Chains A and B, each alone.
Chain A
Amino acid sequence: MNTPTTIPQMIENHRDSLLADWLQEQATIGSQRLLISDAELRQQCLDFLRLLQEATASGGMKDMNSPQWDRVKELLESVATSRAQQGFSPTEVATFVFSLKKPLFGRLRQDIRDVENLGREIWAGTEMIDRLGLYTAEVYQKARDETISRQQAEMLELSTPVVNLWEGILALPLIGTLDSSRTQVVMETLLQKIVDTGSTVAIIDITGVPTVDTLVAQHLLKTVTAARLMGADCIISGIRPQIAQTIVHLGVELGDVATKASLADAFQLALKRAGLEIRRPAASALAGED
């Protein structure tokens, strides 16, 4: 492909009619009009044609990873990201680019009389538009993934209640699967609460945690270490037999971290460390009630 492409010249000459045909094409294919205003769509298309013309004129179509194409990519990114948020389907988003084929090739057919030349231009154009369309679909996917992980993060913040069991004693009952990012949030919430309440003991209860992998075990240990650096002790309670086995098999050193079978046992230990104890009222005091 040594012959320079006529596509940039063609876009420049026929910009208005191309735009009209392209908008028409999108209107017949899709339901896009319901979700986006005509004016907005028109502006996006106009911008795209302008940037595409610039990119093909300066960079050519051979190396679309060259910086000349960055502005085209940037526009597609903003189109895909905003449409992901507006609730467009992947097909609708990719159609934004693919629907340009028909009007573009129609113009090429009008302009180029030589068959061989025409074939070459159409092939180059197809390749270019396909790649831009796929790029758009990929960005859309990424934007959706990010929306999901952002929502997950928001839910995480809701799901870590740190409770004050007694003056100076906190408990963090963990329920459900612990992954890296959740453990991170849990850790930060707990440590902040330790400072806010001036608590010297924190019980991390993992009765409700089905499994623990190396990473999670290490995160728990990091939490315990960070708490110790701040001047508070942690007790881990509710370790199930399977989890105890996993911890040993994984070779995770719990070191001198206090562990207790149940939250109740851990609470007792915490009280003891604080110099408190729970006692039944003396027998004589109860005798009169029979």
Chain B
Amino acid sequence: MDRIPILRMGECLLVTIQVDMHDQLALALQDDLTSAITKQRTRAVLIDISALVMVDSFIGRMLANISAMSKILDAETVVVGMQPAVAITLVELGLQLPGVRTALNVDQGMKLLRRALRAT
């Protein structure tokens, strides 16, 4: 089964989701990412979803889960680049992802992560 690559960039794990994910792929990413956080001892995860044209409740839940799990593993996650149409649809769907940190783009996401890490 194909998997979504997880890159390491300095202190940070970087994931760019570019494919229309099926559910198993989303679950695999959740597993891979949590084990990468522990194995690589990183405290920062950046997930770029700017190429995603749709986030349904399943993918939304995966993002929320990754955020919550990484928090328990003492890492910060930020989700960047959600498209306006996707955001509007998620809100209409009833998903507000309260525990998920977000930023407009990779740059701002990195800034947010650095600030969060300095604070803890």
Question: Which A residues fall within an 8 A CB radius of B?
Answer: 187-188, 191-192, 194-195, 198-200, 222, 225-232
Question: Which B residues fall within an 8 A CB radius of A?
Answer: 80, 82-85, 87-88, 90-92, 96-97, 100, 102-105, 108-109
Contact of B82 among A187, A200, A229 (CB under 8 A): A229
State whether B91 touches A230 (Cβ < 8 A): no
B32 to chain A, nearest CB (A): 24
The residues of A that contact B97 with a CB separation of less than 8 Å are: 229
State whether A198 touches B105 (Cβ < 8 A): yes
Contact of B84 among A188, A198, A199, A228 (CB under 8 A): A188
State whether B104 touches A195 (Cβ < 8 A): yes
- Asked, given contacts A195-B84, A229-B102, A230-B82, whether A200 binds B91 with beta carbons under 8 Å apart, the answer is no
State whether B84 touches A226 (Cβ < 8 A): yes
A sample of 13 more A-B contacts (CB under 8 A), given A222-B88, A230-B83, A230-B102, is A188-B88, A192-B84, A195-B104, A198-B105, A200-B104, A226-B84, A226-B87, A226-B90, A227-B87, A229-B96, A229-B97, A230-B84, A231-B103
Closest B residue to A256 by beta carbon equals B98
Most buried by B among A188, A191, A227, A231: A231
State whether B87 touches A191 (Cβ < 8 A): yes
- In the complex, A192→B86 CA distance in Å? 11
The residues of A that contact B80 with a CB separation of less than 8 Å are: 231
Closest B residue to A184 by beta carbon equals B88
A35 to chain B, nearest CB (A): 42
Closest B residue to A196 by beta carbon equals B84
State whether A198 touches B91 (Cβ < 8 A): no
State whether A194 touches B88 (Cβ < 8 A): no
State whether B108 touches A200 (Cβ < 8 A): yes
- Asked, given contacts A225-B96, A232-B104, whether A191 binds B84 with beta carbons under 8 Å apart, the answer is yes
- In the complex, A232→B97 CA distance in Å? 14
State whether B108 touches A229 (Cβ < 8 A): no
State whether B108 touches A198 (Cβ < 8 A): yes
B60 to chain A, nearest CB (A): 9
Q: List 15 A-B contacts (CB under 8 A).
A: A188-B85, A191-B87, A191-B88, A194-B104, A195-B84, A199-B104, A226-B87, A226-B91, A230-B82, A230-B83, A230-B104, A231-B102, A231-B105, A231-B108, A232-B104
State whether A229 touches B104 (Cβ < 8 A): no
The residues of A that contact B103 with a CB separation of less than 8 Å are: 231
- In the complex, A112→B88 CA distance in Å? 66
The residues of B that contact A199 with a CB separation of less than 8 Å are: 104
Closest B residue to A190 by beta carbon equals B84
The residues of B that contact A192 with a CB separation of less than 8 Å are: 84
